Amino acid sequence: DTEVTQTPKHLVMGMTNKKSLKCEQHMGHRAMYWYKQKAKKPPELMFVYSYEKLSINESVPSRFSPECPNSSLLNLHLHALQPEDSALYLCASSQDRTGNYGYTFGSGTRLTVV
């Protein structure tokens, strides 16, 4: 298995909703990442997990809450989002936190906040 799987592919949520994005990989990678990508822009790093521990938080608002239950799974919990949070959310993984061999990206979750 050489893929990063993200679910759901599309999500529409209201500003008072609570929802979660899920990311899974079975490549034995020990670092996992959340990126946010707005239209026609490069991805922006949100969070880095290394060996299931949060190692980087790029000053992301608390309405985004990451969770890494085990080495294969990464979640992003969403609560009280704003319309400007609408974007493509990408998950990625790498063999370790150095990222020397590159990242493997998932196909993303297209989030729309209404």
Residues that bind other proteins (CB under 8 A): 4, 6, 31, 40-43, 45, 48, 50, 55-56, 88, 90, 92, 97-108, 110
Rounded Cα distance, 14 and 95, in Å = 36
Backbone angles phi, psi at 81, to 5 degrees: -75, 165
Q: Provide the minimum distance between the beta carbon of 76 and other proteins in the complex, in angstroms, as a whole number.
A: 15
Q: Provide the minimum distance between the beta carbon of 105 and other proteins in the complex, in angstroms, as a whole number.
A: 4
Complex with other proteins: residue 64 or 89, whichever CB lies closer: 89
Rounded Cα distance, 112 and 39, in Å = 12
Q: Provide the minimum distance between the beta carbon of 80 and other proteins in the complex, in angstroms, as a whole number.
A: 26
